[in-house]
Amino acid sequence: MSSHLDSLRQFTTIVADTGDFVSIREYTPQDATTNPSLILKAAQMPEYAELVNKVLAETRNADDVLGEALDKLAVFFGLEILKIVPGRVSTEVDARLSFDTTATLAKARSLIARYEKNGIERERILIKIAATWEGIRAAEELEKQGIHCNLTLLFSFPQAIACAEAGVQLISPFVGRIMDWHKAKTGNDYAPADDPGVQSVTAIYNYYKKFDYATEVMGASFRNTGEITELAGCDLLTISPGLLEELQKTEGDLPCKLTEEAANASNVEKMTLNETAFRWELNEDPCATEKLADGIRRFAADTVKLEQFLTEKLKLQPA
């Protein structure tokens, strides 16, 4: 009998949400995603000490040692992941640039240049950018240059609409963090079908399919397998190793929950958002407002921790 993971693969592209090469090899996903938190976790693993030391040895004479080391480390992990997955890897722009369109553009182009220097075509890279207004504007410009983007920290319908109108390649709505917020506010536990995060992604998927947007929807940040199975049929789902293991160990077939037929039958109306409307609609959604800010702070904090880790490692290396 097939597993839930095998069944899910029939409807949805599976993406590994990890920087750990061993886990990626074990679950054979199509794509993989990374972020500062995952890179920090992976960089501290003993099995990746050689890779980290190599990065530091190559960057110790740079004008901006830490900046160079951060970018080189992110790309090194991406390069190793691309040896394993047949598809794409997502590499994140520094969260501290989330409100600076110009700096985000420069960083994204720099990351792509590093990959291309190592023989990787830009079609295999997704540049991860926070779904702020500034980030979406940067992504719009990058897409015109053939640099494809993954808009992350997405918690609301207005963010999704703005991304689609900007021609973004892919969005990552954060299912589990939406549910976390509602659970904290209400004290309720949610069945998978009633999960606010699941409902948010379903609404976005239906909107994109009904109005023929090419932007891909990749559900992310899952807390349990029930959230995942309720979104069977979503374009992509990025799943942590622990939940991938649980899905693989569970026998049975899954029904496809999200379909283009259901999307076309939905009653949703088309919307257009300028900057004023976007900022107002985001402001009116307390979950999205709080979780977007919190997510940026968390990723920025982990980037600082990674800088501190690299600084300590540099002290131990011979000059």
Query: Which residue is catalytic, options 41, 83, 107, 128?
Result: 128
pTM higher than 0.75: yes
Query: Which DSSP helix (H) or strand (E) runs through 236?
Result: strand 236-239
Segment 292-312 mean pLDDT: 94
What DSSP character marks residue 234?
S
- At a CB cut-off of 8 Å and minimum separation 6, what does 115 contact? 75, 78, 79, 91, 122, 124, 125
Q: How far apart are CA 89 and CA 130, in angstroms?
A: 16
| CATH number of the domain residue 51 falls in | 3.20.20.70
Give the SS3 label for residue 250: coil
**Considering its fold, how many domains does the chain have in total?**
1
User: Tokens standing for 217?
Assistant: 């929807």
Phi/psi class of residue 177: alpha, beta or left (left: φ > 0; alpha: ψ in -120 to 50)? alpha
* Residue % of the chain over a pLDDT of 90: 83
Q: Is the model more confident about 287 or about 54? A: 287
Over the stretch 63-121, which tens digit does the pLDDT of each residue have?
888 889 999 999 999 999 999 999 999 999 999 999 999 999 999 999 999 999 999 99
Q: Which amino acid is at 86?
A: P
Q: Is the model more confident about 49 or about 283? A: 283
- At a CB cut-off of 8 Å and minimum separation 6, what does 255 contact? 232
Residue 46 CB burial class (10 angstroms; 0-12, 13-18, ≥19): exposed
291 is catalytic: no
Q: Is the pLDDT of residue 316 over 80?
A: no
Supply the pLDDT for residue 63.
Answer: 80
Supply the pLDDT for residue 188.
Answer: 94
Instruction: Quickly count: other Cβ atoms within 10 Å of residue 255's Cβ.
Output: 9
Supply the pLDDT for residue 55.
Answer: 86
Supply the pLDDT for residue 58.
Answer: 87
Q: How far apart are CA 169 and CA 129, in angstroms?
A: 12
Supply the pLDDT for residue 315.
Answer: 79
What DSSP character marks residue 94?
P
**Which of 11-25, 47-61, 158-172 shows the highest mean pLDDT?**
158-172
CA 249, distance to chain mean position in Å, is: 25
Q: How far apart are CA 229 and CA 85, in angstroms?
A: 23
Supply the pLDDT for residue 314.
Answer: 80
Residue identified by tokens 């940026």 is 296
Supply the pLDDT for residue 64.
Answer: 85
Whether 76 contacts 58, CB under 8 Å: no
Segment 219-237 mean pLDDT: 97
Mean pLDDT lowest among 41-45, 133-137, 157-161: 41-45
- At a CB cut-off of 8 Å and minimum separation 6, what does 150 contact? 33, 90, 126, 127, 128, 129, 169, 170, 171, 172, 218
Q: How far apart are CA 80 and CA 120, in angstroms?
A: 11
Cα→Cα distances 141→55, 93, 102, 104, 105, Å: 30, 15, 10, 11, 8
Over the stretch 176-185, which tens digit does the pLDDT of each residue have?
999 999 999 9
* H runs (alpha helix) in 101-223: 101-117, 133-144, 157-165, 175-186, 196-210
Residue 272 lies in domain: 4-316
Give the total residue count for the chain.
Answer: 319
Supply the pLDDT for residue 319.
Answer: 61
Residue identified by tokens 């990674």 is 306
